[in-house]
Amino acid sequence: MKQIDGGITAVPGVQAAGIHAGIKKAETKDLALIVTDVPATAAGVFTKNSVTAAPVIVCRKHLSNPTAQAIVINSGNANACTGERGMINAHLMATVTAEQLSIAEEDVLVSSTGVIGQQLPMDKIENGIQLATKALNTNGGADAAEAIMTTDTHPKSAAVEIEIGGKTVKIGGIAKGSGMIAPNMATMLSYLTTDVCINSETLQTALTHVVDNTYNLLTVDTDRSTNDTVIILATGSAGNAEIVSSNSQDYDEFCEGLQFVCTELVKMLARDGEGATKLVEVVIKRAKNRVDAEKAARAVAESPLVKTAVFANDANWGRIMMAIGKSGAEFDPYQVDVLLGDYLLVKNGMDSGYDEDKATQLFDNDPVRITIDLRAGDVEVTMWTCDYSYDYIRINADYRT
Amino acid sequence: MKQIDGGITAVPGVQAAGIHAGIKKAETKDLALIVTDVPATAAGVFTKNSVTAAPVIVCRKHLSNPTAQAIVINSGNANACTGERGMINAHLMATVTAEQLSIAEEDVLVSSTGVIGQQLPMDKIENGIQLATKALNTNGGADAAEAIMTTDTHPKSAAVEIEIGGKTVKIGGIAKGSGMIAPNMATMLSYLTTDVCINSETLQTALTHVVDNTYNLLTVDTDRSTNDTVIILATGSAGNAEIVSSNSQDYDEFCEGLQFVCTELVKMLARDGEGATKLVEVVIKRAKNRVDAEKAARAVAESPLVKTAVFANDANWGRIMMAIGKSGAEFDPYQVDVLLGDYLLVKNGMDSGYDEDKATQLFDNDPVRITIDLRAGDVEVTMWTCDYSYDYIRINADYRT
């Protein structure tokens, strides 16, 4: 596996663009378009929030036939809580894009991110789609990554080259999201492209599997959005024998590459969490089962008290014990070890006699890794988050004003 | 029902004290003692955190016989994650108190609150218990309320006088806690006294019922402590006919008084949440059932995005819709109304066309009340919380240093 440049447009047969349509007041890019040269096999994973934004409903509908050739995304307006008119507008985004590209409307997927409860400025959106179509190019991945940002401080993009059955396969991805990020697909958009040849069912299996181990283990503020979306388009042009089963070495190799790209993106998302000063990895070891492992990891990663302690470089392990204790995971408190990096803070549920100054220095590590050994089984899970700083409050108190 | 002064010592036959034992470095009170003239009927509700502090284990043991005559409480050190030695020290606090008061050790209940993972300074504790015993008096409620504080900015105390079967009954209470407060008995201590005559089983039923409707509907930061405790002592001296069943008018009247005292304390706790600038009441109306009502209320009350919007006086109702959507409660998004105070922000899941300036002014109300009408059933629940400000981060980033 080799990391390569170019993000989504590192994959042959993929063009992208990101332009300023005027949805945001600032002179920044706010509309992205991703297009494949041929209809691609497509799969998606969407928000579990029961207040679902209109574009998510359109995506689910269009993916009932699992091919797609374009994704159009606007930032600045979420098109959520917008009723009938919101649904019409989401469909209209697909229609206009399909017309511009001379493809079927059902092959266009739609995303929106930004403020909830306002109707889309459709004149600007339509004009923007025309501009984006003209701007499409095989180096446009970076522009697209920029155009989907909201409170993100920088664009997020990753790509790898792997080998499957002797053929070179590329996988690229972009993502956005730094607030309202939490379990189960929170305010987070990510678009992945690949030239692997794979059938739609296996592609969906791979995507769901990888999302469960990456995006769904990312948490910034426990809130989850109405718009979350991960979509993958597979053009099939790599020349590998079609992957038709999740019980195959080719599948495993593809998943490994996809997992790598998504993990890179997830780390970028956590590191860019609103107000974040540190990327934090919470590793639960020897949990009784996967459910317990996730519960314990989430309780630590989402605890405001733990997150403020990390911000303050304070090895306040009592808060970590408190967090796993409230998680509902099964373990014996007096069997638990807690490590900061490789340094033991807690031995058998009590103070290890560690040196406070040395512990403080370990918060300079990137990432800050908190490992909790529950000694209750053999399941391990890693979750990603960030610390909680003054800037989290500033960003979220000022977002609309 | 009449509100009266005096807190826990408003009740005849109750003495209290709060003194500086030296557990905290600052010259502030850090040890409280509450004593009844006669052995009282006692009931308690404790943390559900599986990492349970030693004093909680001692309380549970001593309440297997539901009488008690004294409660000793220290602040500055939680005696949690302290192993065997912590257990011995918690027992020793009871033993020393029993000796000083010449009562049975089993009739002494023990609480600790403060930093996790350090052993209690037992010389200071023992000396403090002697000092507190000498300081006991019938006006000591205020001192006790002060001595149990940690990051609280002021002591919390309330009392009422009610009538049961023609007899005057008094109920008093104190509480502490402003961080690590969340569902299911988080870092929160509360002690209640009353002279009502009631049997132990009915007292426990009343306490559990009222705790479910007050303390367990309070949330500051989703974290819950290893030490949470609510204890009530009933001396029985009021002269009312003993309350022996929860199916009686006398029981209902007692519960009403107890609910009032606890609600007052809970509002004080929320208003004094770490960094709080506003008391927030989240009212869910017409939920399908109690579970859904609590889920929806908790999702809103615990959402960092909602809480930072309240801090910023921003009627960002999209975040409220997002929060109820992720809660798992059943409802139709396009049937939901949201009100700020009595002002309609959201009608049928969409912008009501409200005036933004007028909405901003409503954040000056105390409390800030957010009402969400789900139109899915007939259950209502009120939850209390506070906003999230810069000071929440400051307080929690600085707590140990």
Q: How confident is the model at residue A394 (pLDDT cuts 50, 70, 90)?
A: low
Tell me the pairing of strands A189-194 and A229-234: parallel
For A279-303, what is the mean pLDDT?
94
In this structure, are residues A9 and A166 in contact, taking their beta carbons and an 8 Å threshold?
no
What residues contact residue B134 under an 8 Å CB cut-off, 6+ apart?
none
- Report the run of H or E that residue B383 belongs to, with start and end: strand B379-386
Q: Quick one: pLDDT at residue B125?
A: 98
CA B314/CA A395 separation, integer angstroms:
13
Chain A residue with minimal CA distance to B316?
A400
The encoded tokens of residue B101 equal: 């008061």
For chain A, the straight-line distance linking the first and the last C-alpha, in angstroms and rounded, comes to 45
For B358-379, what is the mean pLDDT?
95
User: pLDDT at residue A242 above 70?
Assistant: yes
Catalytic residue set of A: 187
Distances (CA, A) of B86 to B91, B92, B114, B249: 9, 10, 14, 44
Q: Quick one: pLDDT at residue A181?
A: 44
> The domain that contains A101 carries what CATH number?
3.60.70.12
Of chain A, the percentage scoring pLDDT greater than 70 comes to 93
Put simply, the answer to whether B308 touches A396 (Cβ < 8 Å) is yes
Tokens 């960030």 sit at which residue? A386
Q: Quick one: pLDDT at residue B182?
A: 40
The encoded tokens of residue A189 equal: 């958009």
Total residue count of chain B as it appears in this document: 401
Put simply, the answer to whether A349 touches B83 (Cβ < 8 Å) is yes
In this structure, are residues B178 and B148 in contact, taking their beta carbons and an 8 Å threshold?
no
The encoded tokens of residue B158 equal: 């309330």
In this structure, are residues B76 and B24 in contact, taking their beta carbons and an 8 Å threshold?
yes
Residue type, B131: L
Q: Quick one: pLDDT at residue B183?
A: 29
A42 CA to chain B: closest CA distance, Å? 26
Give CA angle at A227 (A114, A30), nearest 5°: 35
B398 CA to chain A: closest CA distance, Å? 7
Question: How many C-beta atoms surround the C-beta of residue B157 within 10 A?
Answer: 24
Put simply, the answer to whether A322 touches B117 (Cβ < 8 Å) is no
For B109-133, what is the mean pLDDT?
95
Q: Quick one: pLDDT at residue B150?
A: 85
Q: Quick one: pLDDT at residue B332?
A: 94
Number of domains making up chain B: 2
User: pLDDT at residue A320 above 50?
Assistant: yes
Q: Quick one: pLDDT at residue A397?
A: 63
Same domain assignment for residues A252 and A362: no
Same domain assignment for residues B157 and B240: yes
The encoded tokens of residue B32 equal: 């409280």
Three-class secondary structure of residue B110 per DSSP: strand
Question: Which of B52, B393, B398 should we substitute to test contact with A (largest number of A Cβ atoms within 10 Å)?
Answer: B393
Same domain assignment for residues B287 and B350: yes
Domain hosting A306: range is: 279-398
The encoded tokens of residue A390 equal: 């003054």
User: pLDDT at residue A401 above 50?
Assistant: no
Radius of gyration of chain A (CA): 21
What are the percentages of helix, strand and coil residues in chain A, rounded to 5? 35, 30, 35
Q: Counting one residue from A and one from B, how many pairs have CB atoms under 8 Å apart?
A: 200
Question: How many C-beta atoms surround the C-beta of residue A207 within 10 A?
Answer: 22
Q: How confident is the model at residue B185 (pLDDT cuts 50, 70, 90)?
A: very low
What residues contact residue B251 under an 8 Å CB cut-off, 6+ apart?
B202, B206, B243, B245
In this structure, are residues B197 and B169 in contact, taking their beta carbons and an 8 Å threshold?
no
What's the whole-number average pLDDT of chain A?
90
Question: Which of A50, A188, A352 should we substitute to test contact with B (largest number of B Cβ atoms within 10 Å)?
Answer: A50
Nearest to B31 by CA among B98, B95, B84, B97: B97
The encoded tokens of residue B378 equal: 């007939």
Question: How many C-beta atoms surround the C-beta of residue B60 within 10 A?
Answer: 14
Q: Quick one: pLDDT at residue A378?
A: 96
Which of B304, B389, B396 comes nearest A305 by C-beta?
B396
How many CA atoms, within 13 angstroms, populate the side-chain half-sphere of residue B198? 33
B336 CA to chain A: closest CA distance, Å? 11
Same domain assignment for residues A231 and A86: yes
* Contact list, A180 vs chain B (CB under 8 Å): 305, 319, 322
Question: Which of B223, B338, B347 should we substitute to test contact with A (largest number of A Cβ atoms within 10 Å)?
Answer: B223
Residues pairing with B158 in the sheet: B173
User: pLDDT at residue B333 above 80?
Assistant: yes
User: pLDDT at residue B400 above 60?
Assistant: no
Same domain assignment for residues B53 and B172: yes
Same domain assignment for residues A358 and A212: no
How many CA atoms, within 13 angstroms, populate the side-chain half-sphere of residue A201? 4
Put simply, the answer to whether A81 touches B316 (Cβ < 8 Å) is no
Put simply, the answer to whether A322 touches B223 (Cβ < 8 Å) is yes
Of chain B, the percentage scoring pLDDT greater than 90 comes to 74
In this structure, are residues A22 and A45 in contact, taking their beta carbons and an 8 Å threshold?
no
For B153-182, what is the mean pLDDT?
87
> The domain that contains A312 carries what CATH number?
3.10.20.340
In this structure, are residues B174 and B157 in contact, taking their beta carbons and an 8 Å threshold?
yes
Q: Quick one: pLDDT at residue B181?
A: 44
* Contact list, A116 vs chain B (CB under 8 Å): 317-319, 321-322
* Contact list, B328 vs chain A (CB under 8 Å): 50
Three-class secondary structure of residue A327 per DSSP: coil
Put simply, the answer to whether A116 touches B322 (Cβ < 8 Å) is yes
Please state the three-class secondary structure of A46-102 as a single string: ECCCCCCCHHHHHHHHHCCCCEEEEEEEEEEECCCCCHHHHHHHHHHHHHHHHHHHC
What residues contact residue A249 under an 8 Å CB cut-off, 6+ apart?
none
For chain B, the straight-line distance linking the first and the last C-alpha, in angstroms and rounded, comes to 45
Phi, psi of A257 (to 5 degrees): -65, -45
CA B24/CA B150 separation, integer angstroms:
9
Catalytic residue set of B: 187
In this structure, are residues B173 and B7 in contact, taking their beta carbons and an 8 Å threshold?
yes
What residues contact residue A283 under an 8 Å CB cut-off, 6+ apart?
A297, A369, A370, A371, A372, A380, A381, A382, A383
The encoded tokens of residue B287 equal: 């939920």
* Contact list, B394 vs chain A (CB under 8 Å): 390
Tokens 């509360």 sit at which residue? B190
Residue type, B101: L
Put simply, the answer to whether B314 touches A399 (Cβ < 8 Å) is yes
CA B378/CA B375 separation, integer angstroms:
8
Cis bond before residue B39 (omega within 30° of 0): no
Chain A residue with minimal CA distance to B299?
A223
Q: Quick one: pLDDT at residue A304?
A: 81
B113 CA to chain A: closest CA distance, Å? 12
What residues contact residue A292 under an 8 Å CB cut-off, 6+ apart?
A327, A328, A329, A330, A331, A374, A376, A377, A379
Put simply, the answer to whether A304 touches B222 (Cβ < 8 Å) is yes
Chain B residue with minimal CA distance to A313?
B397
User: pLDDT at residue B156 above 90?
Assistant: yes
Same domain assignment for residues B32 and B170: yes
Between A243 and B219, the higher pLDDT residue: A243
Q: Quick one: pLDDT at residue A388?
A: 80
Q: How confident is the model at residue A223 (pLDDT cuts 50, 70, 90)?
A: low
Residues pairing with B36 in the sheet: B14
Chain B residue with minimal CA distance to A390?
B390
User: pLDDT at residue A138 above 70?
Assistant: yes
CA A1/CA A264 separation, integer angstroms:
14
Distances (CA, A) of B126 to B23, B98, B122, B149, B150: 11, 12, 6, 19, 20
- Report the run of H or E that residue B144 belongs to, with start and end: helix B141-147
Q: How confident is the model at residue A179 (pLDDT cuts 50, 70, 90)?
A: low
Same domain assignment for residues B291 and B242: no
Which of A118, A326, A396 comes nearest B305 by C-beta?
A396
Please state the three-class secondary structure of A147-211 as a single string: HCCCCCCCCEEEEEEEEECCEEEEEEEEEECCCCCCCCCCCCEEEEEECCCECHHHHHHHHHHHH
User: pLDDT at residue A273 above 90?
Assistant: no
For A332-339, what is the mean pLDDT?
95
The encoded tokens of residue B301 equal: 């009350």
Q: Quick one: pLDDT at residue B152?
A: 85
* Contact list, A390 vs chain B (CB under 8 Å): 390, 393-394
Q: Quick one: pLDDT at residue A187?
A: 66
* Contact list, B335 vs chain A (CB under 8 Å): none
Q: Quick one: pLDDT at residue A21?
A: 98
Put simply, the answer to whether A396 touches B312 (Cβ < 8 Å) is yes
Put simply, the answer to whether A309 touches B396 (Cβ < 8 Å) is yes
Same domain assignment for residues A263 and A307: no
Q: Quick one: pLDDT at residue A86?
A: 96
Residues pairing with B230 in the sheet: B45, B190
Query: Where among A240, A271, A302 does a domain terminate?
Result: A271
CA B63/CA B45 separation, integer angstroms:
10
For A346-375, what is the mean pLDDT?
94
Q: pLDDT, tens digit, for every residue of B247-281? A: 999 999 999 999 999 999 999 988 887 778 899 99
Query: Where among B270, B296, B312 does a domain terminate?
Result: B270
In this structure, are residues A198 and A242 in contact, taking their beta carbons and an 8 Å threshold?
yes
CA B194/CA B211 separation, integer angstroms:
16
For B348-375, what is the mean pLDDT?
94
Tell me the pairing of strands B229-234 and B189-194: parallel
User: pLDDT at residue B220 above 80?
Assistant: no
Tokens 């639960």 sit at which residue? A284
* Contact list, B323 vs chain A (CB under 8 Å): 223
Same domain assignment for residues A263 and A380: no
Nearest to B200 by CA among B242, B167, B263, B262: B242
Choose the weakest-confidence range: A202-216, A373-387, B300-314: B300-314
Instruction: Quote the longest CA-to-CA distance of chain A.
Output: 69
Query: Where among B270, B294, B309 does a domain terminate?
Result: B270
Q: pLDDT, tens digit, for every residue of A80-128? A: 889 999 999 999 999 999 999 999 999 999 999 988 889 999 999 999 9
Q: Which one of A189-198, B74-83, B305-314 scores highest in mean pLDDT?
A: A189-198
Between B273 and A392, the higher pLDDT residue: B273
CA A224/CA A211 separation, integer angstroms:
15
User: pLDDT at residue B243 above 50?
Assistant: yes
What's the whole-number average pLDDT of chain B?
91
Phi, psi of B10 (to 5 degrees): -70, -20
Q: Quick one: pLDDT at residue A36?
A: 97
The pTM for the full model equals 0.80
Question: Which of A56, A150, A332, A393 should we substitute to test contact with B (largest number of B Cβ atoms within 10 Å)?
Answer: A393
Q: Quick one: pLDDT at residue A180?
A: 46
In this structure, are residues B173 and B190 in contact, taking their beta carbons and an 8 Å threshold?
yes
* Contact list, B314 vs chain A (CB under 8 Å): 397, 399-401
Put simply, the answer to whether A49 touches B308 (Cβ < 8 Å) is no
Of chain B, the percentage scoring pLDDT greater than 70 comes to 93
Q: Quick one: pLDDT at residue A193?
A: 97
Please state the three-class secondary structure of B196-243 as a single string: CCECHHHHHHHHHHHHHHCHHHECCCCCCCCCCEEEEEECCCCCCCCE
Same domain assignment for residues A334 and A376: yes
Same domain assignment for residues A78 and A159: yes
Q: pLDDT, tens digit, for every residue of B25-73? A: 888 999 999 999 999 999 999 877 778 889 999 999 999 999 999 999 9
The encoded tokens of residue A120 equal: 């889309």
Question: Which of A52, A84, A322 should we substitute to test contact with B (largest number of B Cβ atoms within 10 Å)?
Answer: A322
Give CA angle at A100 (A97, A105), nearest 5°: 45
Tokens 């470095």 sit at which residue? B25
* Contact list, A80 vs chain B (CB under 8 Å): 318, 321-322
